[in-house]
Amino acid sequence: MVGLGVTVSVVEDDDSMREAIQRLLNADGFECAAYASADALLAHGLAEDSVCVISDLKLPGMSGLELLTALHERNPSTPFILITAHDAPGLREKAMRCGAAAYLAKPFRGTTLLNAVRAVIAP
């Protein structure tokens, strides 16, 4: 287990997907702060011990890409992983230009997400 004592923030509007990601991260030793929307994360504030953010692209209100931009302006050192079921040509490149550390198209394996988290938080 890699993540002991650190928090990953997850923004996903689909309850079952959010819970699955949370269980996956917890099983690997990460704490998890989970939100149903970008607005909820922004209202609560990014946890001080949050080592990265995982966010869906399509969210109610502010999109994951808009959240990425907002958080990147405030704290560019916090890695951001964008996940989406709505992959489209050029979207990965746009996300990376906006500051995403990783981009995963759904469906993806749990190990793929864990590897992405480990890679973006590695010193």
Q: Assign domain 7-121 one CATH number from 3.40.50.2300, 3.40.50.300, 3.30.1300.10, 3.30.70.3270.
A: 3.40.50.2300
Q: For the chain, give the number of residues.
A: 123
Question: Residue 66: what pLDDT?
Answer: 96
Mean pLDDT of all residues in 65-93:
92
Instruction: Give the Cα separation of 84 and 58 in Å (integer).
Output: 7
Decide if pLDDT at 58 tops 90.
yes
Q: Amino acid letter at 35?
A: Y
Question: Residue 23: what pLDDT?
Answer: 97
Question: Per-domain residue ranges for the chain?
Answer: 7-121
Q: How would residue 6 be classed by pLDDT, with cut points 50, 70 and 90?
A: confident
DSSP-assigned beta bridge partners for residue 82: 55, 103
Q: How would residue 2 be classed by pLDDT, with cut points 50, 70 and 90?
A: low
Q: What would the pLDDT profile of 61-76 be if each residue is shown by its tens digit?
A: 999 999 999 998 888 8
Decide if pLDDT at 109 tops 70.
yes
Q: What would the pLDDT profile of 26-39 be if each residue is shown by its tens digit?
A: 999 999 999 999 99
Decide if pLDDT at 96 tops 60.
yes
Decide if pLDDT at 3 tops 60.
no
